[in-house]
Structure 1
Amino acid sequence: MTNRIPHPATAPDDGHAIVIGAGLGGLASAMRLGAKGYRVTVLDRLDRAGGRGSSISQDGHRFDLGPTIVTAPQVFEELWAACGRDFRRDVDLRPVDPFYEVRWPDGTRFRATGDDAKMMEEVARISPGDVRGYMRFLKDAQARYVVGYEGMVAKPMHRLWETIKVLPRFAMLRADRSIYGHAAARVRDEKLRMALSFHPLFIGGDPMHVTSMYALVAHLEKTFGVHYAMGGVQAIADAMADVVRDQGGIIRQGVEVDEILIKGNAARGVRLTDGQEMAAPLIVSNADAGHTYDRLLRNHKRRRWTRRKLAAKRWSMGLYVWYFGTRGTRGDWADLGHHTILNGPRYTGLLRDIFLRGKLSDDFSLYIHRPSVTDPTVAPKGDDTFYVLSPVPHLGWDDPVDWEAEAPKYRDKIAAVLETVMPGFRDKISTQTEFTPATFRDRYLSPHGCGFSIEPRILQSAWFRPHNVSEEAKGLFLVGAGTHPGAGLPGVVSSATVIDKMIPDCPVARSADTTPTRLAAE
């Protein structure tokens, strides 16, 4: 057996492990635990696996609710391989090229692609004097990828020393500088600064304040490409659930965990909202870290992650997402591809409103997802499916946005802007729904209705983030966006890789009976 990092919990005597939440992090954890020989039970309050990566179907349209881009397929390939499976046989992953197009109100466009020559042409077309600076930025991105991604993402960071020993390299790479500040140091054109620095928004970070280490995304895209899973991220979640079941695991949908049960400072099981108790000395929580500590451990005295400590954290922004289908438009708006970012008149000012002031501005920037360009199964023949996202303040401000009152007005403002790139679309809408931060709060139990849990600022990363192995109870592990390494598909799946390095193989032979153990009355 490979060497394992020592951790405060021994392997469960009965070989049973409970995973709270069937998001991508929870499913990846269940797969890895199953591969180690554990009897795994996954408990999820939604009606379908995937968590924020799930989907809904409405009037013949399928809407991905959350992540839409696969930027590091190798994390899934490695996960499948650990289970003796081939990811590419289970999931149809297609490259998307160009990766995305960024647009500005004055008509300027920037198409991102994996072709170096084309990227140089894009930069030169916008600002000829910035080509050399852009080349430097790419070299910077590669260096940050080696240190920040290869060196840290799938590595346990619950010991302070693991963070301290990377500080010299962080200092050399100017990790103290924001990603926007780093882009500004390399290129002069404000549009290019935006195009090189916006990526942290996809994991909940303010480009004006998160570390320049996130420049590594440029290298990640360039090296591994941008992909789409046919059937959406839901198809990945469904394939993960199939692996768990093939391993003998149980996935229960529509059941909610109300409390993690602790005895003698060690996890011993969970209690559901219906009062049922289930025993397991190994618990993996894929619920938001804030919800795990503030709600699921509410009756356990916490040493570090107290309510006050959680309240002092900076949380990611909220999201307004408008999902709609259009009739007979598959051949319309030919220049609108799979992924489009539509900038408003402001960039840095808008970021300040969202992250520092908690203000819902009159202007906004939009991400437009048009999966029907790649995957015709998302809509009826000839129709389109759209997902339009706008970053907005979360609900934790003193005077939070009243979304019940504001959503219709905000949607109308967005529609007016969309008419400039999709003329006539409003008259062709056949079905629609929307998510606001209030939806994220109620559907995903996300603190403050955040889209991505705790914001990934440098002092809220690695050791400073809720650890994958809990400090509060033996046998409790955390995965998902609120833990190390953070949000995004590579991050949440890698969090399961981290706990895999801390949990030993199951020493108990699995029996034919995989029924979860219920706690005896005490």
Structure 2
Amino acid sequence: MPHSLPSRRKQALIIGSGFGGLSLGIRLQSLGFDTTILEKLDGPGGRAYQKRTPDGYVFDMGPTVITVPHFIEELFALERDQGWPGQPDYPEHVLTGERVRAGESGGPRTRDYVQLVPILPFYRISFDDGTFFDYDGDPDSTRRQIAELAPGDLAGYERFHADAEAIFRRGFLELGYTHFGDVSTMLRVVPDLLKLDAVRTLFSFTSKYFRSPKLRQVFSFETLLIGGNPLSVPAIYAMIHFVEKTWGVHYALGGTGALVRALGRKFEELGGRIEYGAEVEQILVTDEWGRPVRSPFGQRVARGVRLRGGEERPADLVVSNGDWANTYLKRVPPQARLVNSDLRVKAARQSMSLLVIYFGFRDDGRPLNLRHHNIILGPRYEALLREIFGQKVLGTDFSQYLHVPTLTDPSLAPPGHHAAYTLIPVPHNGSGIDWEVEGPKLVERVLALLEERGHIPGLRARLAHLEYITPDHFEGTLDSYLGNAFGPEPTLIQSAYFRPHNRSEDVQNLYLVGAGVQPGAGTPSVMMSAKMTARLIAQDFGLQEAVRGAEPDRR
């Protein structure tokens, strides 16, 4: 039911200061709400928290790949109390990627807050036999490398390129901001997705075009960076290829943490407040008359939150940027939940988790045969994915994403040193793996491989700093259900309408934002999620006309 807006400014509380919480906070301030973000940790970012060590290293703890810079520009361009922004989602220079091809990262307002720089190649993908593929989105460069690696697949690449572009235009440009809140919205797009062959699995989709196992990996691995198994995510995720090709891959000087701090600064300039060390224990829910809820039937309304320690904070609306499953399982009383019951939430398939090693090492003068972003694949691909996602066991081998930001930005390490992290997909804690036992073993195996395969020669003798996190960190410190790293796994039956909704079906004035809800994980998707959730709030609080006038229906 839409609300009328009296003269008193509505009070909004956001649980969590990740990219979703910060992006939504900026949007709510621009819509005229008074917004407070409550953050459990001692600094902003959530999974994108940045750590500074006493010995001079700076580590981004989470996301490091920045794409779609105009999403960031749109946030920095918002003003306090301006209402719904009137600019189109995709101006012409954005659609053509004109600025990116000119080597420009971000727009004029972004540069007031943070400096983005383009990264080329996007990734160096190293295979187990010592060969590699530099993935940069340039069709000519891609064709040249395919001709060297698997010349018989050149024609297949042309077909893949055309079909991935069609999926990108329909799935991202036209449907990207669609909130699938009802079945009819979903049914209207199903024929298009079937026509585009976007509902088969991504790995099956790429296998139509490429016979080379290496090229099948090159054009399917990216979903692992958002928690998706290429063997089970729908082929609509082939659009990632075109998202990166159109707008590039970027880096914020100072690390992703610099972008997080810039968004926090923008939020506070608009009048928002962030409180750290403010852990939310419960979302306060009553019936429509303010009485305690005793049944999941009837009207249920979010009235505020209770912090750990007992303090209650009233609010007109509450938004969770926390883990979707634990938001409901831990913070919404079971008697207030009918749709998001314990049974439904626990039945959802969660994404895999991660072991992430943060390390610093001395630069001994030997050049590193690495790039800023590196994908180092093990000897097995499909079998390893089945072990991680299906069997939930640690395999005899592993693949990893190695991030060496000091190749671009030396400021993240002491002089004469490099800062790096390497991320290894592993099963979530539904596996029962004892990470206190298995974590150190896997860390040693990873460091040995990096050294012995020549990725970082003499690494263990050059190490100056070493720490790591396991799924236990995601489950404990970041409060994610089963220690998942990306929310519900983006399978076909957990996408679009079947992915958790941004407006709670159970509790009025309760909303969700971030990787766990629509459209999904990954920094650009989380920023899209914030815009979706802001639109729903604007509709519910009487700003429908502003939203209707600014957002054409592209369905």
TM-score range for the pair, normalised by the shorter chain length = over 0.9
Map Cα deviations across residues 192-225 of structure 1 (whole Å, 9 max, x no partner).
0000011110110110010011110111111111
**How many pairs align?**
499
1:3 maps to none
Map Cα deviations across residues 52-105 of structure 1 (whole Å, 9 max, x no partner).
111101110000111001121121112222337812321100000111111112
Q: Does 1:21 align with 2:16?
A: yes
Q: Secondary structure at the match of 1:150?
A: helix
**2:26 aligned to 31, 34, 54, which one?**
31
Query: Which sits farther off after the overlay, 297-306 or 89-98?
Result: 297-306
Q: Does 1:72 align with 2:104?
A: no
1:145 maps to 168
- Superposition CA RMSD, Å: 1.6
2:242 maps to 219
Q: Distance in 2 between matches of 1:507 and 1:49?
A: 31
Q: Does 1:40 align with 2:35?
A: yes
Q: Distance in 2 between matches of 1:198 and 1:8?
A: 43
Shift of 1:504: 2.4
1:514 maps to none
Q: Does 1:284 align with 2:280?
A: no
Query: Which sits farther off after the overlay, 266-275 or 169-178?
Result: 169-178
Shift of 1:376: 1.1
Change (3 A) 1:310 1:507: closer
Alignment of 1:327-366 (within 5 A): 327-329=362-364, 331-366=365-400
Q: Distance in 2 between matches of 1:332 and 1:309?
A: 54
Q: Does 1:256 align with 2:288?
A: no
1:382 maps to 416
Q: Does 1:309 align with 2:344?
A: yes
Unaligned runs of 5+ in 2: 81-107, 288-299, 544-555
Checking the alignment, whether the CA contact within 8 Å between 1:258 and 1:272 is kept in structure 2 is yes
TM-score, normalization by structure 2: 0.88
**1:410 aligned to 413, 438, 442, which one?**
442
Shift of 1:243: 1.1
Shift of 1:123: 1.0
Change (3 A) 1:219 1:449: same
Shift of 1:443: 1.1
Shift of 1:10: 5.6
Checking the alignment, whether the CA contact within 8 Å between 2:66 and 2:523 is kept in structure 1 is yes
Highest RCO, 1 vs 2 (Cα 8 Å, sep ≥ 6): 1
Checking the alignment, whether the CA contact within 8 Å between 1:11 and 1:503 is kept in structure 2 is no
Q: Distance in 1 between matches of 2:4 and 2:495?
A: 27
Map Cα deviations across residues 105-157 of structure 1 (whole Å, 9 max, x no partner).
21111001132211111111110010110111111111111121122222222
Q: Distance in 1 between matches of 2:2 and 2:436?
A: 46
Checking the alignment, whether the CA contact within 8 Å between 1:8 and 1:474 is kept in structure 2 is no
Q: Does 1:130 align with 2:153?
A: yes
Checking the alignment, whether the CA contact within 8 Å between 1:379 and 1:385 is kept in structure 2 is yes
Letter of the aligned partner of 2:46 in structure 1? G
Checking the alignment, whether the CA contact within 8 Å between 1:8 and 1:475 is kept in structure 2 is no
Change (3 A) 1:251 1:490: same
Q: Distance in 2 between matches of 1:386 and 1:92?
A: 20
Q: Secondary structure at the match of 1:101?
A: strand
Q: Secondary structure at the match of 1:260?
A: strand
Q: Distance in 2 between matches of 1:176 and 1:379?
A: 44
**1:56 aligned to 51, 57, 76, which one?**
51
Q: Distance in 1 between matches of 2:359 and 2:457?
A: 15
Q: Distance in 1 between matches of 2:387 and 2:244?
A: 29
2:233 maps to 210
Unaligned runs of 5+ in 1: 1-6, 509-522
Map Cα deviations across residues 408-467 of structure 1 (whole Å, 9 max, x no partner).
111111111101111101111111110100111111101110110100111101111111
Q: Secondary structure at the match of 1:430?
A: strand
Letter of the aligned partner of 2:344 in structure 1? K
TM-score, normalization by structure 1: 0.93
Checking the alignment, whether the CA contact within 8 Å between 2:502 and 2:513 is kept in structure 1 is yes
Query: Which sits farther off after the overlay, 290-299 or 441-450?
Result: 290-299
Q: Distance in 1 between matches of 2:438 and 2:67?
A: 34
**1:233 aligned to 251, 256, 273, which one?**
256
1:4 maps to none
Shift of 1:507: 8.2
**1:170 aligned to 181, 189, 193, which one?**
193
Identity %: 40
Change (3 A) 1:302 1:225: same
1:477 maps to 511
